[in-house]
Amino acid sequence: MTGVAVASEALQAALADRYDALTQSLRTRLLTFVLGAFDGLRALRDADVVEFLDRVVPVVVATQAQMGQVTDAYLSAVMADMLGATAAPAGVVLPEALRGTPPEEVYRRPFVQAWTALADGKDFLDAREMGRNRLLSIAETDLQLARTHAAQQSMTRGGARFYRRRLSGGKNCALCTIASTQRYRVADLMPIHPGCHCKPEPLPGDKDPGQVIDEQLLKEAHDAVAQGVGASDAGGRSPDYRQVIITRQHGEIGPLLAVRRQNFTGPDDIPAT
């Protein structure tokens, strides 16, 4: 390994660490704020909904914009290092309604969740907790959507054709681990799932590296599955993971990493995100 390669790897690692710290800080601050605003409501009536939306939606939209700018700066620096150029983030433009649905409607859903639970006979505390969990999932997903949309804009502008999903530094689910061994096309938005913290990372060059880019990690993931369920085959025969871990097109979120048994056909089928 040459000195230049070592220096480049060190820079890439430093950029990734800094980006992870910034995005984790954004996530923590937003979740603390929105959950605190929900917890501070005296009741869950219509007036409380209006108060909550007036306070929370502007902060959510602003934090999504911050996530977009931080992601653009990170990916611009990564691509510049790959090309031996100077980083030049040009900024990204994210619509307020990343889901294609007004955020006011999206952030009203935790209350609908709680009201539905009350109508089903749940006590108030349980119903409120169900609404709170829905809010947590929505806010996390919205930040991840801001990341993926910004990444696609930034990588397209930088001339990247392919990318991988880089796992977070914490505990990662089997869906993300197996998906991280695959290459994706920049033209395709990165599939996510509720609670996903993976980040898109451009692959060097414009030559297709092939579908599997990390054979060793894929083998380790299948070995771990085998220990848990007693059967695994990285070749996709028994069980066939190409038929189990797939990408669904979600009506609001877009590409969603999922298992085959999940189907979303209309508004009533949208999961708690």
Q: Are residues 267 and 194 in the same domain?
A: yes
- Regarding whether 48 and 10 lie in a shared domain, the answer is yes
Tens-digit pLDDT profile for residues 242-255: 545 667 777 777 77
Angle, to 10 degrees, between the axis of helix 109-119 and the axis of helix 46-83?
130
For range 60-64, the mean pLDDT: 97
Domain final residue pick, 120, 138, 159: 159
Single pTM value for the model: 0.80
Asked if residue 143 and residue 27 are part of one domain, the reply reads yes
Domain boundary among 141, 159, 177: 159
Q: Are 124 and 230 contained in the same domain? A: no
Instruction: Among 109-123, 134-148, 157-171, name the one with the lowest average pLDDT.
Output: 157-171
Return the pLDDT at 165. Answer: 86
Distance CA 105, CA 231 (A): 44
Please count the other Cβ atoms lying within 10 Å of the Cβ belonging to residue 108. Answer: 16
Both 61 and 47 in one domain: the answer is: yes
Q: How confident is the model at residue 270 (pLDDT cuts 50, 70, 90)?
A: very low
Specify the 3-state DSSP secondary structure of 259.
Answer: strand
Closest CA to 99 of 271, 231, 216, 214: 271
Please tell me the predicted confidence (pLDDT) of residue 236. Answer: 43
Report whether pLDDT(170) > 70. Answer: no
CA separation, residue 23 to residues 16, 30, 115 (Å): 10, 11, 33
Q: Are residues 119 and 36 in the same domain?
A: yes
Cα 232 from chain centre: 27
With cut-offs at 50, 70 and 90, classify the pLDDT of residue 273.
Answer: low
Distance CA 255, CA 190 (A): 7
pLDDT exceeds 90 at position 13:
no
Cα-atom radius of gyration of the chain, to the nearest Å?
Answer: 20
Distance of CA 110 to the CA centre of its chain: 20
Angle at 50 between CA 26 and CA 195, to 5 degrees: 35
Q: Which of 34-43, 155-164, 206-215 has the highest mean predicted lDDT (pLDDT)?
A: 34-43
Structure tokens at 237: 């025969």
Position 3 scores a pLDDT of 46
Q: Are residues 192 and 153 in the same domain?
A: no
Claim to verify: residue 153 and residue 171 sit in the same structural domain:
no
* Same domain flag for 56 and 22: yes
Query: Could you tell me the CA-to-CA distances from 239 to 177, 178, 255 in Å, in that order?
Result: 17, 14, 23
H-helix or E-strand containing 256?
strand 254-259
Residue ranges in the chain assigned as alpha helix (H): 3-39, 46-83, 103-106, 109-119, 124-157, 174-179, 215-229, 241-244
Examine the domain organization and report whether 177 and 252 are in the same domain. yes
Number of domain units in the chain = 2
What residues make up the domain containing 201? 161-273
**Most confident option among 143-147, 224-228, 267-271:** 143-147
CB 137 within 8 A of CB 272: yes
- Do 254 and 144 lie in a common domain? no
Whether residue 239 has a cis bond before it, omega within 30° of 0: yes
Residue of 99, 114, 97 whose CA lies nearest to 255? 99
- 196 or 263, which is more confident: 196
The structure tokens listed for 28 are 């923590």
pLDDT at 35 over 80: yes
Q: In this structure, what token pair is assigned to residue 242? A: 């190409």
User: Which residues does 52 contact at the CB level (< 8 Å), separation at least 6?
Assistant: 37, 38, 41, 107, 111
Query: Domain check: are 74 and 128 in the same one?
Result: yes
- What is the C-alpha separation between 205 and 45, in angstroms, rounded? 55
